[in-house]
């Protein structure tokens, strides 16, 4: 199945020059630049696949589809066909659209499904076949392509099929990631067969071939969603569900539908913000925080200053509290007060609660968040006509459930873990079951994924997004503020240190070495509890500069990330 054969000279040349271009541009916060089009993603190979689509005349949606399928092969920790996500599309002419292909709960789901003899079962909730939601990625990408794509569907899948069938070289980053995941893979023979060398970690330089995945991709290329949700692939999924006690049936798969939604819109210092509505919490919380910050002179406070961080933290605190109390799948929660939460009057009311010299105190009720993995992935695309796509999708945990479908070659998600544990449940871990996000048949679980596009004076300004679980929203917020308020270029906006507050626990997490000790002491003096972490998110950003050229920001927190250009 695998060999240590060297990749072809042609493949090496393509990757070498892509790598060289990236590394040269990344020096000293210099962004990668292009005049026509650009793709930025978590994997340089996948970005190059998307850029080739742009060079051959495809548009941003075409390139996003090709990149996403390529990521399902070369970035298996989060790239996927067995998961789900969100896509925000801003055409150069016309209205923006939001495509919701979040996973759904199988028909047999119910609010108490994570209780075993009355006790909450963490393993069942997050580490079992029952934790697998009905995948949405294939249907969602196809819907976006059907409405806006210009290149043949089968053509867009050819690079991913080739990468799966012929193989690609395992990098140090992927090898280390797979090695760390082997204990989780151990119960699943198909996963071990695909992602290990007879039980031993794959070494950097090894060629990873995935023939079962290639066959699945060929079925999708030939039949569209029917190649996944019906026929051979669907039967393979359901057979694995039956084997492991999962809930997904053939009817669940055949009945899956993506949903086109109206994007959340906001205005911040004269720029328009376009983001994802529920079941994403990202767009609502993002606009709410920006509305609060609009009342402060952020640029006067200064980039990286304690004053700017303080008001941002206070905005985060309030938005995340509202997230917990109000947000869920809007199809099941029709009374979500979206207009109020994203309105300027409400932001003014919240701003009045903020003292400039002292931290607020989060409510003392015993609430902490359900587990939400940080292993998601994002891609940003802009084409020569300035059509733009911001796409975030995920398997939930890194490698999702860890379950590769035997004969199918793809990983299944464990997204059901994003539902709350049970109605009103309070456990030693502090879980609580707020109504809007309890499991129900067909319901989409609440998400923090926040694909976002920013415009100025009717023209595209910025495409941004990030993985990072609950930190996603705050990472996206900071990339926007870094560009709009502090005038940073795309790469500098991505490289800047990040911080996160989510209401509960009442603590600020800051990236280690991202801020001066003096700044952190000033935050503590205001009453903030500050803790360090290694990294927060991995943002992939494109900015249109004042000359109309594209600037790419590649997050160096991810070793295999890269941008590719159409110039």
* Residue 246 to residue 82: CA distance in whole angstroms: 14
Cα 319 from chain centre: 19
Q: CB neighbours (10 Å) of residue 376?
A: 30
Give me the helices (H) in 131-247, please. Answer: 137-148, 153-166, 172-185, 189-195, 211-223, 226-229, 231-244
Q: CB neighbours (10 Å) of residue 68?
A: 32
* Residue 194 to residue 189: CA distance in whole angstroms: 9
Angular region, 485: left φ>0, alpha ψ -120 to 50, beta rest: alpha
Look-up of token digits 């969603």: 225
* Residue 232 to residue 171: CA distance in whole angstroms: 32
Output the DSSP codes for 288-354. Answer: HHHHHHTTS-HHHH-TT-HHHHHHHHHHHHHHHHHHHHH-S-TTT-TT--HHHHTSHHHHHHHHTT-
* Residue 523 to residue 530: CA distance in whole angstroms: 8
- Please calculate the CA angle 465-469-470 and round it to the nearest 5 degrees: 95
Contact assessment for residue 504 and residue 567, using Cβ atoms and an 8 Å cutoff: no
For 517, list phi and psi in degrees, rounded to 5: -55, -35
* Residue 520 to residue 526: CA distance in whole angstroms: 10
- Please calculate the CA angle 225-72-408 and round it to the nearest 5 degrees: 60
Q: Examine the residue annotation and report whether 376 is marked as an active-site residue of this protein.
A: yes
* Residue 482 to residue 167: CA distance in whole angstroms: 39
Contacts of 521 (CB under 8 A, 6+ apart): none
Catalytic residue among 169, 206, 376, 519: 376
Residues known to be catalytic: 376
């Amino acid at each position: 199945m695998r060999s240590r054969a060297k990749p072809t000279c042609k493949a090496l040349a393509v990757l070498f020059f892509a790598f060289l271009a990236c590394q040269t541009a990344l020096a000293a916060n210099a962004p990668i630049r292009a005049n026509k089009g650009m793709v930025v993603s978590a994997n340089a190979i996948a970005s190059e696949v998307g850029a080739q689509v742009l060079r051959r005349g495809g548009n941003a949606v075409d390139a996003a589809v090709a990149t996403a399928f390529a990521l399902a092969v070369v970035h298996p920790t989060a790239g996927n066909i067995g998961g789900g996500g969100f896509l925000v599309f801003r055409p150069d002419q016309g209205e923006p659209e939001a495509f919701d292909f979040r996973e759904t709960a199988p028909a047999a789901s119910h609010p108490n499904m994570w209780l075993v003899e009355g006790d909450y079962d963490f393993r069942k909730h997050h580490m079992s076949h029952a934790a697998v939601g009905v995948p949405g990625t294939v249907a969602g990408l196809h819907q976006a392509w059907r409405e806006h794509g210009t290149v043949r569907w089968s053509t867009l899948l050819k690079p991913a099929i080739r990468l799966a069938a012929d193989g690609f070289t395992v990098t140090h980053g992927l090898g280390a990631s797979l090695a760390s995941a082997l204990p989780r893979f151990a119960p699943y023979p198909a996963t071990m067969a695909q992602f290990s060398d007879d039980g031993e970690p794959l070494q950097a330089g090894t060629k990873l071939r995935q023939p079962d995945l290639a066959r699945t991709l060929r079925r999708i290329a030939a039949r569209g969603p029917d190649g996944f949700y019906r026929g051979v692939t669907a039967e393979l999924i359901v057979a694995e569900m039956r084997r492991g006690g999962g809930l997904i049936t053939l009817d669940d798969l055949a009945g899956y539908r993506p949903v086109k939604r109206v994007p959340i819109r906001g205005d911040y210092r004269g720029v328009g913000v376009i983001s994802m509505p529920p079941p994403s919490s990202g767009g609502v919380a993002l606009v709410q925080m920006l509305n609060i910050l609009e009342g402060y002179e952020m640029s006067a406070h200064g980039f990286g200053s304690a004053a700017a961080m303080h008001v941002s933290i206070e905005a985060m605190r309030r938005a995340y509290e509202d997230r917990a109390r109000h947000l869920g799948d809007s199809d099941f929660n029709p009374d979500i007060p979206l207009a109020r939460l994203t309105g300027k009057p409400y932001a003014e009311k919240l701003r009045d609660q903020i003292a400039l010299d002292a931290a607020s105190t989060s409510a003392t009720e015993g609430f902490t968040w359900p587990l939400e993995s940080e292993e998601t992935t994002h891609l940003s695309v802009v084409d020569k006509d300035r059509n733009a796509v911001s796409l975030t999708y995920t398997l939930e945990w890194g490698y999702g459930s860890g379950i590769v479908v035997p004969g199918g070659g793809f990983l299944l998600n464990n997204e059901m873990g994003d539902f709350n544990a049970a109605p009103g449940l309070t456990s030693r871990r502090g879980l609580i079951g707020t109504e809007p996000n309890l499991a129900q048949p067909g319901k989409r679980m609440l998400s923090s994924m926040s694909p976002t596009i920013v415009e100025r004076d009717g023209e595209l300004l910025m495409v941004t997004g990030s993985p990072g679980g609950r930190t996603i929203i705050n990472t996206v917020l900071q990339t926007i503020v870094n560009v709009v308020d502090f005038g940073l270029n795309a790469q500098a906006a991505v490289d800047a240190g990040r911080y996160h507050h989510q209401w509960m626990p009442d603590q600020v997490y800051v990236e280690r070495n991202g801020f001066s000790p003096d700044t952190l002491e000033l935050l503590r003096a205001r009453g903030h509890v500050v803790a360090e972490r290694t990294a927060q998110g991995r943002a992939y950003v494109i900015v249109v500069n004042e000359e109309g050229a594209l600037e790419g920001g590649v997050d160096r927190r991810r070793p295999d990330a890269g941008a590719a250009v159409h110039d």
